[in-house]
Amino acid sequence: MTSLTPPSAPKRNKTLTQHGRSREDPWFWLRDKDDPAVMEYLTAENTYTDAVMKPTEELQATLYREMRARIKEDDASVPQKEGAYFYYCRYEKGGQYPIECRKHDSLDNPEEILLDVNELAKERSFLEIGVCENSPDHRYLAYSVDLDGSEEYTIHIKDLATGDLLQDRIARTYDSLEWVNDSQTFLYTLLDEHQRPRQVYKHRVDSDSQQDELVYEEKDPRFFVSLSKSESGRFIYVACEGNNMSEWYYSDANNRDGTLRLIEPRRKDHEYDVSDHDERFFIRTNIDGAKDFKIVETAISTPTSDKWRDFIEHEPGRLITDFLVFKDYLAVEETHAGLPQIRVLALETSESRYIKFDDEVYDVALVPGREFDTSTLRFMYTSLAIPPQVYDYEMPSGQRTLRKEQEVLGDFHRGDYVSQRLFAKSSDGVNIPISILHRKETPLDGTAPLLLYGYGSYGTSIPASFSSTRFSYVNRGFVYAIAHIRGGMELGYDWYEGGKLIQKKNTFNDYIACAETLIQENFTAKNNILAVGGSAGGMLMGAVANMRPDLFKAIITHVPFVDVVNTMLDDTLPLTTMEYNEWGNPNDKEYFDYMLSYSPYDNVTKQDYPHMLIVCGLNDPRVTYWESAKWTAKLRAMKTDHNLSLLKVHMDSGHAGASGRFDFLKEVALDVAFALMVFKK
């Protein structure tokens, strides 16, 4: 497709041996970022990709302009009341980053700017805000900043009364921080040498962080530590989570000594999370076989599981995913038959009702508020064709009020599109949901190109939600589809377990079944599909490229997890030990053999492959750049076709790509331009 010669990464002998089995890995050397040859190779890949994509520069500019034209640039969130203040964030026309603001007493009063992220990001190629939390007395703002995509944040404190930054600087933190109610003290999490959040420290405002006191230290490298504060503001929680296990501690938020008390000790396969109401805890738990979770209650004075009583019983097939506690109500987020639902319960009477939604395919989520003593619940509703809508729901009456619908400008008109749900039968007979979006006039006779998105890992359900950038595909005749494959939780916890560990291949077979069904139903045709997935979804992309390359014309994948065995053997990487329960521990031969049988990098073979655009970030701590680099090098050496294999390395960002909202659109424009080029659209 091009006369340009792609870079060729030289081979260097490297033999890896595990369980008596030897593997040759001639591109293992690409792991060493300090080797000048590695940086030369990555730079050469970027130069090649830029050269191949140069004929599309005008198209990329057009795509960027049209995607930006859909954005209402001077937009603002719906304010949330906390005490005497209304807090919100807004964007200014031309601004890449949000501005955090508040108003005192009334929305008619003058605005106070708390943090203008545009000012922080001046002359920087990357800046990401981690936490942004005002103190309970509204005097201070604690915020943290990542400057390179490494997800290592530095905490700063701003005195909102004077506008001054205080001396406080706390480096190498995780994006987790909670204020004690004295407004002079906060807890935060610190990263260890492997970039794992395993320590909780207590800090006093306007003091030297070297004097901070250790509150908790996690000894097990399989567990990460995070902080949260209950809706009532009474407790700060320390959650230790990993490997499908949980252990929570609580601390009196009115007492700055930070003393922690255990709720329930960790045990294998027990997951739970906690909030409080008066003198009781509400706990979402999968204890006693409640695979799709139930909610129990217990006295704060006797929090262990032998005292738990069912409050919302377990109902198989109805997955409880989240809950919010109010003074008089409990709001519960559930998933049933592949669709999210919200249930509201009156605590005094235990009467409950579901909020009704009419669309066939949609997404809805609770929006955590800043007030405990309120009868108003906020939620966000969206679908593939409906921009996000923020509603306030009066829990006593069931009355809902639309507070805001995201404005989408430019070439988007809601009535031009159709969304629907379809089911595919996987290789073992299981029905897999597919969410579909297309323009009304798009021919469904097999001639339309189709973008098929998939993820299928960590129990993450992919919502049928709105994305304005998607319409740069759909308005050019693409059908857009989401494969809700196993490994997610769209159909409950069993759905997750059916796509992990030694059942991981179900994820790949499900995706292939979705592609085949969409072909059979004339939404598209073989070799007219664009496969898209990133991170763990990049593993999916690599696996299906090896298994059924004939189905796909092209694959676009960002930060793909493709060197599965080598990554999971390296316990110095941040996520490896925590994810043994997702993929297995390859130090165990059973898991090693199974991983090796599907690991995309290890299974590249001499065959034709689709066109590929592979994108990664040099500073990514989650999926390292070298996975993409090694995979690209091996694909080039092995494949028998003349299709494109492009590698784009973002040298100054991490797992999530660009931090600015317009810079991000430029990355999307490259993806879309690549697709339109190879599909000749």
pLDDT digits (tens, 9 = 90+) for 415-445: 999 999 999 999 999 999 999 999 999 999 9
What mean pLDDT, rounded, does the chain reach?
Answer: 97
Which pairs with CB-CB distance under 8 Å and at least 24 residues apart come from 570-576?
571/221, 572/194, 573/194, 573/624, 574/194, 574/195, 574/196, 574/621, 574/622, 575/622
pLDDT in tens, 444-475: 999 999 999 999 999 999 999 999 999 999 99
* Cα–Cα distance, 627 to 646 (Å, whole number): 14
Cα 516 to Cα 243, 424, 539, 679: the distances in Å are: 34, 8, 20, 19
Place of tokens 């545009």: 118
* C-beta of residue 618 within 8 angstroms of C-beta of residue 629: no
In the 3-class helix/strand/coil scheme, how is 22-87 assigned residue by residue?
EEECCCHHHHCCCCHHHHHHHHHHHHHHHHHHHHHHHHHHHHHHHHHHCECCCCECCCEEECCEEE
pLDDT in tens, 45-66: 999 999 999 999 999 999 999 9
Average pLDDT on 23-38 reads: 96
Helix (H) or strand (E) segment spanning residue 327: none
Q: What is the pLDDT of residue 263?
A: 99
Q: What is the pLDDT of residue 677?
A: 98
| pTM check: above 0.85 | yes
CA R_g for the chain: 25
In which band, very low, low, confident or very high, does the pLDDT at 580 lie, cut at 50, 70 and 90? very high
pLDDT in tens, 537-554: 999 999 999 999 999 999
In which band, very low, low, confident or very high, does the pLDDT at 258 lie, cut at 50, 70 and 90? confident
Query: Which positions are catalytic?
Result: 535, 620, 655
Average pLDDT on 145-157 reads: 97
pLDDT at residue 2 above 80?
A: no
pLDDT in tens, 509-540: 999 999 999 999 999 999 999 999 999 999 99
Q: What is the pLDDT of residue 409?
A: 96
Average pLDDT on 361-373 reads: 95
Domains of the chain, CATH where assigned:
31-68+412-561+605-679 (3.40.50.1820), 78-120 (no CATH), 564-598 (no CATH)
Q: What is the pLDDT of residue 84?
A: 96
In which band, very low, low, confident or very high, does the pLDDT at 3 lie, cut at 50, 70 and 90? confident
Q: What is the pLDDT of residue 1?
A: 58
Sign of torsion over alpha carbons 235, 238, 241, 246: negative
